[in-house]
A and B are shown apart, each in its own frame.
Chain A
Amino acid sequence: STHLEHQDETNVMSIEEARALWSEHEARTRNLAMILTEHLRLILQPTQATKMRGDFRTGKRLNIKRIIPYIASSYKRDKIWMRRSVPSKRSYQIMLAIDDSKSMAESDSRDLAFETLALVAKSMSMLEVGELSVVGFGEDVSVAHDFSTPFTSEAGAEVFRQFNFSQRRTNVRKLLAESIELFRTARLKAAGSASELWQLQLIISDGVCEDHPTIRQLVRQAHEERIMVVFVVVDAAAQKAQAIGGPKQSILDLQFASFINNELIMQKYLDTFPFKYYLVVRDVQELPAVLAGALRQWFAEVVETGG
């Protein structure tokens, strides 16, 4: 894979180092993982109450639309009753996309990204509701863990080894285009009815990306294919700058200066941010609550639109 090309340039951690790093992050986020799991359990699991269709408490009812075809077919097409509907078991495919670009190392976001990864991966595996994959992105996109492999501690260590935060670009456009393809393939491979499969991508990045109009279009395309994209902005540099009294470093303060017809336009960077759902996280402690909030909103919208 192309990822190996990047690894050649820098030190790849040994599997022992990776295991130690994984258990450290796993231990640090253990309690949070339980909190997140509880939030997610409430959100991700379908309501257990069966919906009554029609207004008969017996659960049986004539389907009026079927009566005429029933008669017209000389009583052969006899599926004319409605029953209680039993909720189908939903399954999930969740992709964690971690920014492997150099700016992550520069902004000290590496640790926060690893903690976020450990936290989300742990919660998802505790829930046992679906499949988890991890991809790295920067100049290129590479799959660090695929949907079909169970996510264990050993898998976590292997994933950590594949990140070194030294890619020289942050191509979010490419990430989205390739992720949509990966989700399409995964949907085909998924067991059961495709309509019960929900797909979610969590992008974990420092948030600095370019070409917002094209990205916005790709996000829309993903939503049309019922792939939810949540962008988690890890804003680690903000805290550090604040602690040492240094200059503002937060993405919330970042300004974007552009020239349109030789006219200087200054905007807040986040004002043009192309993701509908994004969260700014400065501390992994905040993550369970904000992530749960975003997911709750998504599920409400999907349910409303009959997805």
Chain B
Amino acid sequence: MATQVSGDRTAQVRIHLKTRSSDIELPEDTGPILVSTELKRYQLSTLVNRLLETEKPIPLEFLINGQFLRTSIDEFLTQNGISAETTLSVEYVKALIPPLYVASY
């Protein structure tokens, strides 16, 4: 009876965004935000930039439990056996500018 139909899985999770860099701290504590587990780094970066109200988007990287998010949140949760019932603590850091980008400057 507990068997699950594929596609009938959890699609949303609450995240709590935080950072250790004071220059990119969220203006006010937003509290948890509900997001689709399909989100990847890029969308999360868009979200934080929106909350920061940045004029020029700052590329960001995300860490969950000390691991960089390289997949969708969904894949991350599955790989790490984390239930979407938990509010995920998501840390963001400025993405290191790729060397190629620096060279072209």
Q: Give A residues with C-beta under 8 Å from B.
A: 2, 5, 101-103, 106, 139-140, 167-170, 208, 210-211, 247-250, 253-259, 264, 266, 269
Q: A2-B1, A210-B10, A264-B46 are in contact. Are A256 and B85 (CB under 8 A)?
A: no
- Chain B: interface residue total (CB-CB under 8 A): 26
- Residues from chain B with a CB closer than 8 A to the CB of A248 are 29-31
Pairwise interchain contact A169-B85, C-beta atoms closer than 8 A: yes
* Whole-angstrom CA separation of A103 from B88 in the bound complex: 11
* Residues of B78-98 whose CB lies within 8 A of A: 83-87
Pairwise interchain contact A170-B85, C-beta atoms closer than 8 A: yes
Q: Is B64's CB within 8 Å of the partner chain A?
A: no
Report the minimal beta-carbon distance from A235 to chain B, rounded to whole angstroms. Answer: 12
Q: A140-B2, A255-B33, A258-B35 are in contact. Are A106 and B86 (CB under 8 A)?
A: yes
Report the minimal beta-carbon distance from A161 to chain B, rounded to whole angstroms. Answer: 20
Pairwise interchain contact B50-A266, C-beta atoms closer than 8 A: yes
Name the residue of chain A whose CB is nearest to the CB of B81: A168
Pairwise interchain contact B34-A269, C-beta atoms closer than 8 A: yes
* Whole-angstrom CA separation of A256 from B11 in the bound complex: 13
* Residues of B21-57 whose CB lies within 8 A of A: 29-36, 39, 43, 46-47, 50
Please tell me which one of the listed residues B12, B32, B39, B84 contacts residue A249 in the complex, with CB atoms under 8 A apart. Answer: B32
Pairwise interchain contact B83-A259, C-beta atoms closer than 8 A: no
Q: A210-B11, A254-B14 are in contact. Are A102 and B31 (CB under 8 A)?
A: no
Please tell me which one of the listed residues B1, B14, B43 contacts residue A264 in the complex, with CB atoms under 8 A apart. Answer: B43
Name the residue of chain A whose CB is nearest to the CB of B34: A256
A168-B83, A248-B30, A255-B34 known; 9 other A-B pairs, CB under 8 Å?
A: A106-B86, A169-B9, A170-B85, A208-B12, A247-B29, A250-B31, A257-B47, A258-B36, A259-B39
Name the residue of chain B whose CB is nearest to the CB of A246: B29
Q: Is B70's CB within 8 Å of the partner chain A?
A: no
* Whole-angstrom CA separation of A271 from B87 in the bound complex: 20
* Whole-angstrom CA separation of A256 from B13 in the bound complex: 10
